[in-house]
Structure 1
């Protein structure tokens, strides 16, 4: 308990837990360990034809996406029997905690797959290596990818990752619930007026159509990100030193979210699991979320009649929060040319065959995969891909996920739990964020120098 005798708030617990996780991911310079800066990779062929070897591949694909990745690895090994890719999947928080320690101890995996909003942080920490030359040798260029996705792997002018996919938050809709309320089940709302009218029609039929996960900061925070971008706002300035998410556009976005709860168009005190279960049981019309998990999840429910389209444009222009899985090569104490050659061979193959990865739910990052006949046969993923030109990512700032998850998102949660005023909560969060941004800038600058 606090000194005043009151129990700590839920927000305090959220920040404490996230801070502990962030502390586990502190820069390696803060730990006793080897200087990794001199461990430069040797020249290696981009096509391995040597004796059999096994590469170690770490990631956080613990769901249906993990099963699909293992299928791809089996197919790769059938075509390249001299290369076995051994996959170790673990929860994402464990992955981000464990692999830097493995790098420091000299036991790093050969390849990793990470979410793009962690690339800058790990590049600054020196635990992954630049891949500019690798991308060039494999023929991977910006022209072959969605522009925003391709650039999300660049930090300090250098490429540190190769994008595999992109997963923009999208609007999932329950056709049966819409039809029961007298709405067209094949024409979901795509703008503010039609979306609010649909929510009103649903409310008249006793349905809270838009369940906002107020007690799930990550889920509700991504919706806020999308809305404030749609309304012309931004999260941070170009240098990553100033928080901008307390401007009028952001306040409008958060006020709009709050109104959905105040008017009864969303139940109060909802978490992401509640919304998901309600959708599957025809109690909820709309869900905002990423296609990677939800497409697989909803497809597995017998008789669930659903569809998906890009997020409705509530603001002045379309925009949606997106993430991307990106391949990285871990820094080694000593690089082996043969293992690097096998790694390059694998990265080239899986990028070229990424349309098969779309079966896991995400949209492939490569444009030729999106344009392929195979991808067009996936109606949900093809619909989501319509938003590719409007996706937005967190800025490429080391430690940015920590700022979002420990400061901004808990503030949004407080507002949607009806415990705080939108402007005041965002002003307070902006001051705290700028303090942490300044600390991170100094901390990661020390690692990079």
Structure 2
């Protein structure tokens, strides 16, 4: 029996209504079914049916998904899809509550680094049984992407895309500094030389968003991998980012500020605004947000390339949107067939999703002439062979965002000792990882 508090009741009311309150009071969830998916032999061809689809696509990517849904329903008029977009933070709070309350959507879209957590919570279903019907083939995906939906020997998600952090560069700033705007830097020496050159022309070329832990933390992730490090041990029970690779990554980030290549105490919006006004040469970030944002600025001369190799090997943080099937109190074979019909269609037609910024996860589509018609996305795709994902560990996103990223931001704001900052964060992260083993190990 859990301890009932006013906050518990209010939280439950805010996420799942009366059924959520019942779960909070009793300390357990309503029965949501424990069997597998019903057998699906092919596409749905029955009477009209409406599906519920949840995601966090509240930005410019939302209209793109709605356009694709409309295209699908024109081809499949017997399948309607009601899409509900919530801010991602709200989505990850409300989705498990909706499932445990028996109010789950039919399917959802979530980030790859949240799949293991939701699998451990048992609010999504293994989808191995529908792979053939959906048309998922291992040879069509990079190994890191194919493996990203597999947890404890089962597949829990279907990858839609990849969005590797990439190097967005202001061509006009580079040209005014005497650099070739068609040849962005590809390694540490070239990158630092470019920063020196633009500094000579009066521009600080890399505005490091130290006050935005998420933005600066993902840059650290890429650098950690480039310097040969890992975030966690293979079992996901201890943090390892305070080893020499992590120290080297943070030292290099600090050098951007110490050398005057980045202003101090700036945010991601500061960096973006400076870039749009030709006062910043480079942005490190994901294509999902930046391609559409920069593309709307009249007169801005920009392009994008894979991240430069600062450490001993190429690597870039990447995320992936992945489809999941929600656990239900009981499964209706017709509804599942309709879900599978849509998932098979959109994964085969994900070139349309590329207009939102991310690049398709499916390699044949990635190599298609249609992607070449999207120059920015095609340039991002040049670096996908070197992408890295977070390990498939339940609760990993919480460790990153609540412990590691704030520690990186604090070290950059104070320019304090990198090893000390990372040692402290490692201790805290390892403690949380051990708690997560207990928490999700019983799930």
TM-score strictly above 0.5: yes
TM range (shorter): over 0.9
TM-score normalized by the length of structure 1: 0.92
Structure-2 residue corresponding to 1:58: 54
Q: Does 1:160 align with 2:156?
A: yes
CA distance in 2, matches of 1:39, 1:296: 42
CA distance in 2, matches of 1:231, 1:138: 38
Alignment of 1:3-402 (within 5 A): 31-36=27-32, 38-402=34-398
What SS class does the counterpart of residue 398 from structure 2 fall into? Answer: helix
CA distance in 2, matches of 1:332, 1:420: 50
- CA drift of 1:99 comes to 1.0
- CA drift of 1:205 comes to 1.6
- CA drift of 1:291 comes to 0.4
- CA drift of 1:37 comes to 5.2
Gap runs ≥5 in structure 1 = 1-19
CA distance in 1, matches of 2:246, 2:84: 40
- CA drift of 1:32 comes to 2.7
| Aligned pair partner of 2:411 in 415, 419, 431 | 415
- CA drift of 1:421 comes to 1.2
CA distance in 1, matches of 2:222, 2:31: 40
CA distance in 2, matches of 1:284, 1:135: 45
Structure-1 residue corresponding to 2:431: 435
- CA drift of 1:64 comes to 1.2
Q: Deviations over 1:268-288 (max 9, x none)?
A: 001111111111111100000
For the 8 Å contact 2:40–2:130, the answer to whether it is kept is no
CA distance in 2, matches of 1:106, 1:37: 10
What SS class does the counterpart of residue 383 from structure 2 fall into? Answer: helix
CA distance in 1, matches of 2:282, 2:270: 13
- CA drift of 1:39 comes to 4.3
Q: Aligned residue pairs: how many? A: 423
- CA drift of 1:419 comes to 5.2
CA distance in 1, matches of 2:37, 2:303: 47
CA distance in 2, matches of 1:40, 1:131: 9
CA distance in 2, matches of 1:185, 1:301: 18
CA distance in 1, matches of 2:415, 2:173: 31
- CA drift of 1:186 comes to 1.0
TM-score normalized by the length of structure 2: 0.93
For the 8 Å contact 1:230–1:319, the answer to whether it is kept is yes
CA distance in 2, matches of 1:288, 1:230: 15
Structure-2 residue corresponding to 1:7: none
Calculate the aligned-residue CA RMSD, in Å: 1.6
For the 8 Å contact 2:33–2:329, the answer to whether it is kept is no
Q: Deviations over 1:104-153 (max 9, x none)?
A: 11110001000101000000000000011111333312101122111111
Q: Deviations over 1:230-279 (max 9, x none)?
A: 11111111100121100111100100000101111100001111111111
CA distance in 1, matches of 2:226, 2:348: 33
CA distance in 2, matches of 1:177, 1:231: 29
CA distance in 2, matches of 1:273, 1:46: 47
Flag as ranges the 4+ runs of structure 1 deviating above 6 A. Answer: none
CA distance in 2, matches of 1:102, 1:385: 36
